[in-house]
Amino acid sequence: MNDRRQELLNSWASALDRAARVGALNDSKPIAIREIGIIAGPRAGALEIDAGFDAGRLLRSLAADDMALSRQFVPWAFIGQPAVYMQGRYIRVEAGWDDAQAQKSISVRQMNVRPNGSGHWLCGMNERGRAVVLHLSDNAPHFLVSGTTGSGKSVCLRSMVAQLSQRGDALVLIDGKFGEGLRGLEHLPGVVGPLAVDIDAARSALAWVVAEMVRRYEQGDTSADRLCVVIDEVQELISDPAIVEMIRRLSAQGRAAHVSIILATQHPTTKALGDDASIKRNVTGRIALRVSDYKASEVAIGQNSPRADWLLGAGDAYAVVPGQVQRVQIAYYDRREIERMLTAQPRIDEWPAFAAERMESQQAGQFVAHELAASLLCAATGAGRPTMVKRLEMRDGDRARRLYRMGREINDELEAAGAAVCLSGDGIHTGTGLSGVEIA
């Protein structure tokens, strides 16, 4: 089958090359193409065209009128929408394989790649036939998985969750649509509590995770195992402000406490994650399956290209981490194989009831300016709580704890907003900033 795909791509490339050379693409003005690379991906075939200084002209004629001209040269009955766009300095044209050529089902087992280490999972096969392994890292501590109905979100999440369970990560599972997507997985090893399938349970489960994150910060427990919260159909839950607030806190502050959040939605709109931009900003990892339109694609990918609305469905996706995009066919986990892994019972049988006051007490204010300033400085310069307590000569342990936490939170927010430089820049250690707050 691979040979056939190479053959089709070669004949596509030479047809385009010939047409360009004789001026058929461009009002009889010939274009000399320097080189054409061919790429036989699992779901689509693509050409990478190096047209040098003529790139602009060639791109315009290939893309004009809904790619009318490009479509004529594809030597197979392509499915979906062909695409023409710049990639680096090459023009890239791509078209979906017909059923005879497409490789629509790639399983984790058949790829035979076992990523090592907490937070790692095999995402799928890229266009060059290579395994794409993703991991929950400082660069991409949290992921958004988007895709319209039937695009393969649940398959993707189940594969990911099963693999994270095998890596020994702790998991909290929430499903905004009655548990349709994640049902059964609560019996995977590492799952902490019951699958939360309604707003009340989701609130309680998230409150447990937030409390665990706060505990890790307070006890300086930074080597704790990774804890992943997976929320399928998150758009069903964002009518609840407490849930949005907890997701926001986890996405802003989870990273250093090894708490990751994986959100999946079929409606990636600016509203689907609440109106709060900080969630979108902090969730830097993306898996975009096919979405319904251009606007959804922008939210799903986090930028305006490539186009997730042109993907072909059933596991065809873009995996995005800051600075890198790959088209992948998501590797699925065979249902029976997952079933064999369902051997555990969650260690918590019921999530503790959600107490709104607890959230509020965690945010209690009433600190004076110099106390806040000291806590912020300690957070920004990486100094620990003992240093802060010493600087402030503080006796009230609980007050010190809350103050320290607040400093960390504000600093995380500023850092996420790109203000890290002004706080942790060197000037602050020696400049007037510190002398203003050094009251100890």
Ligand X SMILES: Nc1ncnc2c1ncn2[C@@H]1O[C@H](COP(=O)(O)OP(=O)(O)OP(=O)(O)O)[C@@H](O)[C@H]1O
Q: Which residues are near ligand X by CB under 6 A?
A: 104-105, 147, 149-155, 181, 266, 314-315, 330, 332
Considering the complex, state which of residue 78 and residue 332 has its C-beta at the smaller distance from ligand X. 332
DSSP string, 408-425: HHHHHHHHHTT-HHHHHS
Q: Which of 151, 154, 253, 329 binds Mg ion (CB under 5 A)?
A: 154
Block residue for tokens 């058929």? 24
Rounded least distance, CB 262 to ligand X, Å: 14
Min dist CB 96 to Mg ion, Å, is 22
User: Which CB sits closer to Mg ion, 182 or 238?
Assistant: 182
List the beta bridge partners of residue 264.
Answer: 145
Least CB distance from residue 104 to Mg ion, whole Å? 18
Closest residue to ligand X in the complex (CB)? 315
> Which parts of 196-325 fold into alpha helices (H)?
199-218, 241-253, 277-282, 294-301
The residues, ordered by sequence, that sit 6+ positions from 81 with a Cβ below 8 Å of its Cβ are 310
Nearer to ligand X, 235 or 411 (CB): 235
- Stretch 342-381 residues interacting with Mg ion (CB under 5 A): none
Closest by alpha carbon to 309, among 286, 291, 322? 291
| Torsion angle of C-alpha atoms 57, 61, 62, 66, degrees rounded to 10 | 140
Terminal Cα-to-Cα distance of the chain (whole angstroms) = 74
Nearer Cβ to ligand X (152/433): 152
Regarding 315 and contact with Mg ion (CB under 5 A), the answer is no
Tell me which stretch binds Mg ion (CB under 5 A): 4-12, 54-62, 153-161, 318-326.
153-161
Two tokens at 206?
């998230």
| Closest approach of Mg ion to the CB of residue 150, in Å | 8
Which alpha helices (DSSP H) does 230-307 contain, by range?
Answer: 241-253, 277-282, 294-301
In the three-class reduction of DSSP (H, G, I as helix; E, B as strand; rest coil), residue 87 is classed as strand
Based on CB atoms, which residue is closest to ligand X, 264 or 392? 264
Q: Which three-class secondary structure state does DSSP give residue 128? A: coil
**37 forms bridges with which residues in the sheet?**
48
Check residue 181 for interaction with Mg ion (CB under 5 A): yes
Using CB distances below 5 to 8 A depending on partner kind, what does residue 285 bind out of Mg ion, ligand X, none?
none
Structure tokens belonging to residue 211: 């409390």
Give whichever of 101 and 151 is closer to Mg ion, judged by the CB atom.
Answer: 151
# residues contacting Mg ion (CB under 5 A): 3
Taking CB within 5 to 8 Å according to partner kind, which of ligand X, Mg ion, none is near residue 330? ligand X
Residues that bind Mg ion (CB under 5 A): 153-154, 181
